Chain A
Amino acid sequence: NAGVTQTPKFQVLKTGQSMTLQCAQDMNHNSMYWYRQDPGMGLRLIYYSASEGTTDKGEVPNGYNVSRLNKREFSLRLESAAPSQTSVYFCASSTTGDLQETQYFGPGTRLLVL
């Protein structure tokens, strides 16, 4: 099984450009998440999708939008990139949002905004 996959692995954008980060999981998980990791810090939640057809904001949603395309796919869109969005982005999934369920992470996307 591939688990959680993310594309692209690395991206350079200019300020004001837009892009979509793709995430897919093949574990039949209901819940999916987008986190960002800034240097020297742990991960922070941007958006999540508790189940297919639902999305909601996390801690740091400003400047982002998401789409839960189907049960497998959850994309993150930057409409107008800013240097403050330079970060590593991780997609994660879990069977449900229950506290004992492990979240499994994708390999991450490194984004540099100039």
Chain B
Amino acid sequence: AQKITQTQPGMFVQEKEAVTLDCTYDTSDPSYGLFWYKQPSSGEMIFLIYQGSYDQQNATEGRYSLNFQKARKSANLVISASQLGDSAMYFCAMREAPSNQGGKLIFGQGTELSVKP
């Protein structure tokens, strides 16, 4: 069965420092997509970054980068130069082919990040 594991329930980081949020996944499908979403205290789900299983390079979006290690089945999110507004819950999610329930997202349990001034 497909599975996403986020082993860090909560993390603290000092403002302006970098932080890595861990995510490992399990799938037998060679084609999949990996996503990170941010959920601030207001509750909405905000898309941050995407990595495809066949992508050769790690994805980057501004201060967000994804450290993709396919052999280890890990897709860690790196946030550089943390800001107070980065304090939120972060979810790693995996998407498989449309044949799997319409291409549903499978979510991890999330990591709550707190940025200290």
Contact B43–A45 (Cβ < 8 Å):
no
A-B interface, 10 closest residue pairs, ranked by CB to CB distance from nearest: A42-B107, A97-B103, A97-B98, A105-B45, A48-B102, A99-B33, A45-B104, A97-B102, A50-B102, A99-B95
Contact A99–B93 (Cβ < 8 Å):
no
- Smallest distance from the beta carbon of A35 to chain B beta carbons, Å? 8
Q: Which residues of chain B from 58 to 117 have any CB-CB distance to chain A below 8 Å in the complex? A: 91, 93, 95-98, 101-110
Interface residues of A (CB under 8 A from B): 31, 33, 35, 40-45, 48-50, 56-59, 88, 90, 92, 94, 96-108, 110
Contact A33–B102 (Cβ < 8 Å):
yes
Contact B109–A59 (Cβ < 8 Å):
no
Distance in angstroms between the alpha carbons of A54 and B32 in the assembled complex: 23
18 A–B contacts from the bound complex (CB under 8 Å): A33-B102, A35-B105, A43-B45, A44-B107, A48-B101, A56-B101, A88-B43, A96-B98, A99-B31, A99-B95, A99-B98, A100-B33, A103-B47, A103-B95, A104-B47, A105-B46, A106-B44, A108-B45
Beyond A42-B93, A108-B44, whether A58 also contacts B101 by CB under 8 A is yes
Contact B50–A100 (Cβ < 8 Å):
yes
Interface residues of B (CB under 8 A from A): 4, 31-33, 35, 37, 43-47, 50, 52, 91, 93, 95-98, 101-110
Distance in angstroms between the alpha carbons of A99 and B103 in the assembled complex: 6
In the complex, which of the residues B98, B105, B108, B110 contacts A103, with contact meaning CB atoms closer than 8 Å? B105
- Smallest distance from the beta carbon of B45 to chain A beta carbons, Å? 4
Distance in angstroms between the alpha carbons of A92 and B47 in the assembled complex: 11
Besides A31-B103, A48-B102, A106-B44, 19 new A-B residue pairs in contact (Cβ under 8 A), listed by A number = A35-B105, A41-B109, A42-B91, A42-B93, A42-B107, A48-B101, A56-B102, A59-B101, A59-B104, A88-B43, A92-B45, A94-B103, A96-B103, A97-B102, A98-B98, A99-B95, A105-B44, A107-B44, A110-B43
Q: Considering the complex, give the chain B residue whose CB is closest to the CB of A56.
A: B102
